[in-house]
Each structure stands twice: as C-alpha cells, then as structure tokens.
A and B are shown apart, each in its own frame.
Chain A
Amino acid sequence: MPGTRRESLSLALTGSGGTGMISAGELLLRACARIGLYGLQTRSVGPQIRGGESAALLRIAHYPVEAHDDAFHVLFAADWQNFERFAGEITLADDVVVITDEAATDIPRVVRAHAADIRHLPLHAIAREHKARINMVGLGLLGHLLRLTEEELADIIHWFFTRKGRQQFIEPSIAAMRAGFALAEPMLEEVPSLRTTPDAARAQAKAGRRWLISGNQAVATGFLQAGGRFVAGYPITPATDMLEWLAARLPQLGGQLVQAEDELAAINMVLGASYGGIPAMTATSGPGFSLMAEGIGLGVMAEIPALIVDVQRIGPSTGIPTKSEQGDLQLALCGTHGDAPHLVIAPDCINDAIRTTAWALHLAEKLQCPAVLLSDQKLGQMLSVIDAPEGMPPWKAERETVAACETGDYRRFALTDSGISPVALPGAKGCMHTIDGLEHDEAALPSSKVEDHAAQLEKRWRKLQQMEEWPEEEMRHWADCIGTGEVCIITFGSSAGPAREAIRLAADMGLHARHISMRLLFPPQKKRLHKLLEGVKRLIVVEQTHSGQFLHYLKAHYELPEVVISCRRPGPKPITPQQVLRALREACTVDAKLTERVCT
C-alpha cells in the first residue's frame, strides 16, 4: 500500500541510554532547517540523571509549526526498554510505520496492537559493522524518508563532531548513516511522507532565513536585547539551560550571572542589582518560583523593577520536573501576600518569546515593578525552526531617573498622576532615602497611617491600571487576534500554538473562528478584550491545566460571552491542534445552548 502524503510529518525516535536519540532528532531537525524546511522537536526523558531512555519527538513541515500533531507517522525505536514510560505521549497514527531492530522480540503490546506495519531492520548490526552509534543509522534512514540527500546528512554529521572536537567519529558515523540511508530505499513509497518534496523548500531557502532556537534561548535573547545585564539564578529543570545560555553570553554585553545559593538569594540579588540601576532577571520553575513569592512582594512594595521567568513544569511540589503544564498561572497572579499588583506576561510561541521578553523587561523598568514571565517546559525546551526575525524588538529597559536634588526634598514615592515616581539611584547627590518593605509615605519614611497606606497602595495600582488608557500603538503587543466569526478560542502562553493551527484547519473546512492569544494577563485589559470579543457568541477557553485556572481568571476579570466552553487537559500530553479543532467544530455546529462544559 503506498504511504500517505502529508502536510506535515511527525516522527518519534525512542531508545534507552546511549542510543543518542535526542542528538539524532536534533541533527535531523537541523538538516531540515538548512534546506529551508520548518519543524520542531520536543523531548521526553526518563528520570535517570544521565542517559536513560529518551524520546525525540519531531514534526517537520513546509510551513512554520508551533505544536505537535495528534499522532506520529513514523516511530523509530532503537530498542524498547521502558518504552511504556512514553507510550502515553506518543499516539500512533493509523498508518504508522514502526522501524525496529531485526532482533527485537520485546515490542510492547500497545505498539503491536496498533501498528500494522512493523519493519525489522538490521539497525544494530549496521552500527556494529561501522563502529558507530545506532542513532547515525537512524539519521540516514529517517533523513532519506524526509527526502534529504546523503550529502546534506553527511554535512550535518561533519558539523556535529567537528563542533564537539571528535573528528574521529565523523567517518564511521557517515558510513553508518549511508547504510541507514540505503535501508530506506525500498520503503520510500510505502511510508507516509511529506506532500511536497524538499526540492521546493530548497529552491525557496535563502541563506540566513531560518533560525534553530529553543524557547528558553528566545527568552534569554529578548532579555539581552532589551538591555538586561544581571542574572541571578539557582539551577532547576526546565530553566537551567536558559541560565547556562545566559552565563556564557552576558559578559560580552557587560553583564554577569551569579549562581545563587537558593531562589531566595536569587530574587533578592536581582532586587539589589536592579536597585543599583542594572536591568536584572532570574529564571526558575514552580518550586523556585514559590520561594520567590516574598521577594516579588518586596519588589512591588519598594517599586523595584525585576523580571522573573517561570518556566512552568508539572506540580505541585517536585511534580514532574521534565514535563509541561500551565498550572502556575494563579500563583503568578496572586502568589504574593497582600494586595500586590505586578505584571504577569506570557510569550505565546518561540518567535514571540524574544519580543515579549523584551517588552516585559521594558514594562518592568518603566513601571518600576516586578514582571513575571510565564513560559513553560514545552515552550522553553522545544527546539524549533523559525523564520529569522526581520529585526530585533524595539523595547529597551528604561527607567525614569533623577540625577540629583539640590533642595533636599526628594520624595522617592511622590504621588504622581501616572503613579510612576522618578527614581534616584544610589549615588545621586542629595536624594538619599531608605526604600522599604514597610509601608511608607511619599518621602519613603515608614508609615502605618491610614492615609499613607491608602495613597501608596492606590499609587501602586494606578501605575498598572493606567495601562488601559495607554495609546493603542503602545499596547498593540498585549494580545493577538486572528480570524473572524462568532466562535472564538482564547489562550495564553504555549497553548496558542495548537489553537492557531486549529483555526487554520477549520478555515480549510469552511469554519470561521477567531483566536485571541493574551500576552498581558495582569493588569487585565478589560476594554481591549471586550473589543476583541465583540460579536463573539461562544468562547472556547483552551489551557493546559486540570482545574481551569485560565478560565477562572477570565471569569474573574472579564465579561464573557453567554456560552463558555472549557477545553483543557493537564500535562504531560500536549494540547494538539486536533483536540482544539474538535472543540471548535462542536462549538460551531452543536445548536443546543451550551453552558460551560469541559472537553478534553
């Protein structure tokens, strides 16, 4: 039976420690990016510290993709050890082709029951013969199925081992790759493949047009671009790689990273550096973010800018450190004691993370307020091929400062119309004052008076609330809205990817719907959202939580259409375009008056 032709192809590479499946996936993705294809890779790893079973989950397409498809078309299993750990995350397509070793006898029941086409090939024998790793056989085989050329694959192997300084592996690896490439020859017409051949992509690809970048790198790039120069952090999955990436690059930009003794130190170091006038951030995940809550409150009270990146993972407690969920939303919004208004902002895809992080740092500095940036493991550790941005985002970290005061009556927390009081940084002559976590008066003196608390509290809220009145061109980035129609999907953060794709799929079927992706979650933008929702009769709230945190947030702050449908799912199984599309079709077609219901 000839293999189906697809708009995008999803491949899963799985194997135990030492099989190098993640590297093979990355090389495959890089080779695709070089010839102008798009794609993404997420990884699923076991609990082992080093090695252990892992899965590289890839999707390759001719157009930019932001999310995984519903099912995988090709499964390459170097072996089947502990496969059941991923099985729930790897849904197999009906026409899936499974490639396994000729000697494999332990194919799990779930796979045998589902896959009609299982191919036993001499994968390990070839690897042994060439004294190479099995992942190089897989690279050749899968690369051929994607219609890459042997030269393109050899180039990528060359690049990989040269960069690692292990030139001795180049030759055997290329030999193994070529043998794997040859194995694919007889299967080419029988295995699902991309509808358009890569030649079209090759013709289009111009040098320098694509970037291969992870969400964590994109966030870090946005921070550096906006002028961020100090980072303090404590290692935690899945934020560590962002910190490591920054550590290597900050010195070039007049910056520094400190590995703090814990997250309490990290947030307080950030506040100290920022108090000194240097734009600063920390990156963490749920457990560390919980520890930072008190420090964020200090930043609110003492009006110190700071960027706190939370790369969310599954919680509570240690949860599932390597997997994604959007369950820190309520903590980000309300996790600090007292009435503590601060910015909560979420980038909605890798491309957007550069812009949105720069914007968040810009706003934090301008409003003299901590900003929480809500990313997640899926977005952060996804490696994606994107269009290289045309230019860098314009936003810079700029704080309104006072250079000196001759009259000696500088008031750090002066009650201005905007609520923003120009700050005298330490060193400014004649402006000495003590900032405080205690409530204070305009001159920054501690005060427990009713009037001072009321006035300063109101000022801290006013700073943020006035954003609703900012001109449209300054606030354009707060949310995106695409599509038309009476049905609307709404998301924040990484759930935007599958929603955007669902909108396109629906349009192909003649169903027209809108999608709103909110970046600015706090302060709420009532008038702006209500305008985007004009004419919407049914709203589908899509999020990766069990309890519907985003739904409850929306209900608390906005007037929503009559019918609200909650489409949610906890991690680690990602929200897919098809899942959103099902919710959308139901909302478009079912006539009965739906009230809030959950569809998973």
Chain B
Amino acid sequence: MNRQTAPAPKPGDYKSGVHPVWCPGCGDFAVLAAITRALAKLQLPKHEVALVSGIGCSGRIPAYLDVYGFHGLHGRALPVATGLKLSRPELTVLAAGGDGDIYSIGAAHFVHACRRNPDITLIVMDNRVYGMTKGQPSPTSEPDFAAALQPEGPHVPPVNGLLLALSAGATFVARAFSGHVDALAEMIIAGIEHPGFAVIEVLSPCPTFRPEQTQWKRQVEDDVFKPASSLQEAMAQVISAPELGTGIVWQTTRPAAEHIPAPPADHAAVMREITQAFLP
C-alpha cells in the first residue's frame, strides 16, 4: 500500500479536463470554479464526492469535475441523489440542475426533498430561461419575458424558489451569485457542512438567451439576508428582499433522512424467520 501522503488537492485537481459545452461568458463556468474551490478547501478526496445532475446546460456540470458524476434525466437529479445518499451515506453528495430542471419538471421532487431532508447540497443554477433548448421562458422568468414559444411572455408570476423551499421544510436555504466565486464557494462549503438538505439558488447568467443578465454583476446585492431566527422571519425576508439579493436566509436542524442500515451477519437465518410466517 502506498503510505505516502499525497499533496493536498488544489481546485484545479477537481477538474476533469473535459472541455465544457457552455457558451463564452456563461455563468455556469463560475459555478464550476466555485465547486472546485469548495471541494479543495474541504480537502475532500475526489472519489468520495458524487455530483448528480439533471438535463440542461447546467446539468452538464458533473462531467467537468473529476469526481463521481451522474448525469441523469431532466428533472430527476434529486431522486437519484436521494437514492445514492441513502445507500452510501459516507459519500458527499451534491445535486445540480437548472431552474427548469428543479422548479418545473422536477418541482415535485424539490418539494419532497425539502421535506425528507437528505444530507445533500443542491445547487440550482438559475438563469431564468431554458438555456439548453434555446431560450424558452422558465418558471423563474419574468412575466414579460417574451420568447418565440410565448410571444407575450409567460404572464404569470415566477416561482420563488427560496419561498418554496422554506414552505416545504428545507433546513438550509440560500441564494448566491455565480459572479462572486469566492462567496459562492463559501456558501457551498456551508451547504456541504450543513447536516441535511441545503438549497443554494445560484444566479447564473445566460448571456446567450438573456443578454441583459450580464448586468447582474452590477445589480446583485450581497448579504441582504441575515440568518433568520424563525421561519416567519425567513419568509418575510425573502418576500421583501431585492430580487437579486444573496445570503443564507435560513438554517435549522432536523433529523436527516435515515440511511440504509447495515446487513445482518446471518442473512439466511433472517430469511428463515421471515418465511416462518408463511406457515398456515
């Protein structure tokens, strides 16, 4: 066995070397950078980290990291991550997806992951658009965001992911901006260290289909949220905060979803006991 201690991994060591498909200037590059910084800072062994994603530009992120990755179905990152975490509690499990992925097609899973509270850190890369399918309105799009599929804009209020998370029982709720990589990395560290389900909504601009989002770097207001002492207070903060405000708004502890227990020493004996009940 190799007893030499390997040099401490640096952020770059967590990159796979696969060239991202993302457009130049895409906010997702910064999310990738922040994840690598967080993992390096926590000194997590690469083989003990798993990142599960859905489908979208955002969903492409696992392949760009040199950890265990699972690029599954549109909307279904959270159930996969939940199954994985239950079966392998010793792994650090992250999940990632887009605003469409998490708040639209996967919305039911989002709500129920918040309730179940598995020890997973979820990164929602919110660009208020369906990037991968080329520019349709998403659940977080502004009511007047006109696009070919909805020429008048969706004309319905956007989903407030933070409010949804709070009302569904999430135990860690935060928003960050991908342009502030260090702050985002710190947020991801806090999420990983949180013993339960951590929701981090990341404002991650899509310069291709939402060029106006390049202005976010001037509009974002950092640390508008102060950790709330009650759920009511957290909700009030989210409702009254500026649209592009960041910070951790809620953190509490609640028992995390239980893991799969260890198998018995004598499987055959337990099977005999179970099948005894079939005797008439």
Do A208 and B87 have beta carbons less than 8 Å apart? Answer: no
Do B71 and A230 have beta carbons less than 8 Å apart? Answer: no
Do B278 and A217 have beta carbons less than 8 Å apart? Answer: yes
Q: Which residue of A lies closest to B83 (CB)?
A: A272
Q: Assess whether B81 is interfacial by the CB under 8 Å rule.
A: yes
Interface string of B11-33 (1 = CB under 8 A from A): 00000101000000000000000
CB-CB under 8 A from B81, the residues of chain A are 272
CB-CB under 8 A from B71, the residues of chain A are 434-438, 446
Do B112 and A392 have beta carbons less than 8 Å apart? Answer: no
Q: Assess whether B192 is interfacial by the CB under 8 Å rule.
A: no
Interface string of B117-128 (1 = CB under 8 A from A): 000000000000
Q: Which residue of B lies closest to A279 (CB)?
A: B87
Do A432 and B46 have beta carbons less than 8 Å apart? Answer: yes
Assembly CA distance A392 to B274 (angstroms): 12
Assembly CA distance A430 to B73 (angstroms): 26
Do B80 and A430 have beta carbons less than 8 Å apart? Answer: no
Q: Assess whether A213 is interfacial by the CB under 8 Å rule.
A: yes
Interface string of A520-563 (1 = CB under 8 A from B): 00000000000000000000000000000000000000000000
Q: Assess whether A258 is interfacial by the CB under 8 Å rule.
A: yes
Interface string of A425-445 (1 = CB under 8 A from B): 111111111111110000001
CB-CB under 8 A from A280, the residues of chain B are 83, 87
Q: Assess whether A136 is interfacial by the CB under 8 Å rule.
A: no
> Which stretch (A90-98, A246-254, A467-475) binds chain B?
A246-254
Q: Assess whether A212 is interfacial by the CB under 8 Å rule.
A: yes
Q: Assess whether B279 is interfacial by the CB under 8 Å rule.
A: yes
CB-CB under 8 A from A232, the residues of chain B are 79, 83
Q: Assess whether A80 is interfacial by the CB under 8 Å rule.
A: no
Known interface pairs A265-B112, A270-B83, A272-B82; A251-B261 also in contact (CB < 8 Å): yes
CB-CB under 8 A from B72, the residues of chain A are 268, 271, 298, 302, 437
Give A357 Cβ to nearest chain B Cβ, in Å.
13
Choose among B45, B75, B82 the residue that contacts A269 (Cβ–Cβ < 8 A): B82
Q: Assess whether B68 is interfacial by the CB under 8 Å rule.
A: yes
> Which stretch (A48-56, A220-228, A572-580, A586-594) binds chain B?
A220-228
Q: Assess whether A275 is interfacial by the CB under 8 Å rule.
A: yes
Q: Assess whether B179 is interfacial by the CB under 8 Å rule.
A: no
Assembly CA distance A388 to B280 (angstroms): 11
Known interface pairs A224-B274, A262-B108; A298-B73 also in contact (CB < 8 Å): yes
Q: Assess whether B263 is interfacial by the CB under 8 Å rule.
A: yes
Do B263 and A253 have beta carbons less than 8 Å apart? Answer: yes
Do B84 and A273 have beta carbons less than 8 Å apart? Answer: yes
Choose among A227, A249, A295 the residue that contacts B274 (Cβ–Cβ < 8 A): A249
Q: Assess whether A62 is interfacial by the CB under 8 Å rule.
A: no
Interface string of A25-62 (1 = CB under 8 A from B): 00000100110000000000000000000000000000
Assembly CA distance A33 to B55 (angstroms): 54
Choose among A30, A271, A385 the residue that contacts B80 (Cβ–Cβ < 8 A): A271
Do B88 and A426 have beta carbons less than 8 Å apart? Answer: yes
Interface string of B185-205 (1 = CB under 8 A from A): 000000000000000000000
Assembly CA distance A208 to B260 (angstroms): 33
Q: Which residue of B lies closest to A406 (CB)?
A: B2
Q: Assess whether A3 is interfacial by the CB under 8 Å rule.
A: no
Known interface pairs A262-B108, A273-B84, A427-B47; A253-B264 also in contact (CB < 8 Å): yes
Q: Assess whether B76 is interfacial by the CB under 8 Å rule.
A: yes
Give B203 Cβ to nearest chain A Cβ, in Å.
25
Q: Which residue of B lies closest to A396 (CB)?
A: B267
Q: Assess whether A256 is interfacial by the CB under 8 Å rule.
A: yes
Q: Assess whether A519 is interfacial by the CB under 8 Å rule.
A: no
Give B47 Cβ to nearest chain A Cβ, in Å.
5
Q: Assess whether B256 is interfacial by the CB under 8 Å rule.
A: no
Total A-B pairs, Cβ < 8 A: 189
Assembly CA distance A476 to B112 (angstroms): 44
Q: How large is the interface on A (under 10, 10 to 19, 20 to 34, 35 or more residues)?
A: 35 or more
CB-CB under 8 A from B108, the residues of chain A are 261-262, 264-265
Interface string of B230-267 (1 = CB under 8 A from A): 00000000000000000000000000001111111001
CB-CB under 8 A from A438, the residues of chain B are 71
Assembly CA distance A227 to B48 (angstroms): 25
Give A295 Cβ to nearest chain B Cβ, in Å.
7
Interface string of B48-91 (1 = CB under 8 A from A): 10101001000000110111111111011011111111111011
Interface of A is mostly: mixed
Q: Which residue of B lies closest to A404 (CB)?
A: B47
Assembly CA distance A255 to B270 (angstroms): 12
Interface string of A410-436 (1 = CB under 8 A from B): 000000000000000111111111111
Interface string of A206-218 (1 = CB under 8 A from B): 0010111100010
Please report which residues of chain A, range 472-499, place their CB below 8 angstroms from some CB of chain B when the two chains form the complex: none
Q: Assess whether B149 is interfacial by the CB under 8 Å rule.
A: no
Q: Assess whether A126 is interfacial by the CB under 8 Å rule.
A: no
Q: Assess whether A229 is interfacial by the CB under 8 Å rule.
A: yes
Choose among B50, B55, B273 the residue that contacts A426 (Cβ–Cβ < 8 A): B50
Give B275 Cβ to nearest chain A Cβ, in Å.
7
Choose among B16, B86, B90 the residue that contacts A273 (Cβ–Cβ < 8 A): B86
Give A371 Cβ to nearest chain B Cβ, in Å.
17
Known interface pairs A273-B260, A433-B69, A445-B63; A210-B80 also in contact (CB < 8 Å): no
Q: Assess whether A108 is interfacial by the CB under 8 Å rule.
A: no
CB-CB under 8 A from A249, the residues of chain B are 274
Do B83 and A229 have beta carbons less than 8 Å apart? Answer: no
Q: Assess whether A18 is interfacial by the CB under 8 Å rule.
A: no
Do B63 and A434 have beta carbons less than 8 Å apart? Answer: yes
Assembly CA distance A294 to B79 (angstroms): 14
CB-CB under 8 A from B268, the residues of chain A are 392
Do B261 and A210 have beta carbons less than 8 Å apart? Answer: no
Q: Assess whether A260 is interfacial by the CB under 8 Å rule.
A: yes
Do B260 and A278 have beta carbons less than 8 Å apart? Answer: yes
Assembly CA distance A274 to B111 (angstroms): 23
CB-CB under 8 A from B52, the residues of chain A are 272
Interface string of A280-314 (1 = CB under 8 A from B): 10000000000000110010001000000000000
Q: Assess whether B148 is interfacial by the CB under 8 Å rule.
A: no
CB-CB under 8 A from A278, the residues of chain B are 87, 260
Assembly CA distance A277 to B112 (angstroms): 24
Interface centre among A213, A252, A255, A262 (most CB of B within 10 A): A252
CB-CB under 8 A from B63, the residues of chain A are 434, 436, 445-446
CB-CB under 8 A from A64, the residues of chain B are none
Choose among A254, A265, A385 the residue that contacts B263 (Cβ–Cβ < 8 A): A254
CB-CB under 8 A from B82, the residues of chain A are 258, 265, 269, 272
Do B69 and A258 have beta carbons less than 8 Å apart? Answer: no
Known interface pairs A265-B79, A431-B47; A445-B109 also in contact (CB < 8 Å): no
CB-CB under 8 A from A385, the residues of chain B are 280
Choose among A265, A268, A426 the residue that contacts B68 (Cβ–Cβ < 8 A): A426
Give A173 Cβ to nearest chain B Cβ, in Å.
19
Can you identify 19 A-B contacts, CB atoms within 8 angstroms? Answer: A208-B279, A211-B280, A217-B278, A232-B83, A252-B264, A253-B263, A258-B82, A258-B86, A264-B109, A268-B80, A272-B83, A275-B83, A388-B279, A392-B268, A429-B45, A432-B68, A434-B71, A435-B71, A438-B71
Sample of 4 further A-B pairs with CB below 8 A, known A252-B270, A260-B112, A272-B70: A230-B87, A254-B260, A269-B83, A429-B45
Which B residues lie at the A interface, using CB under 8 A?
Answer: 16, 18, 45-48, 50, 52, 55, 62-63, 65-73, 75-76, 78-88, 90-91, 108-109, 111-112, 258-264, 267-268, 270-271, 273-275, 278-280
Closest 8 CB pairs of A and B: A272-B83, A434-B69, A254-B263, A276-B87, A268-B79, A33-B280, A269-B83, A273-B83
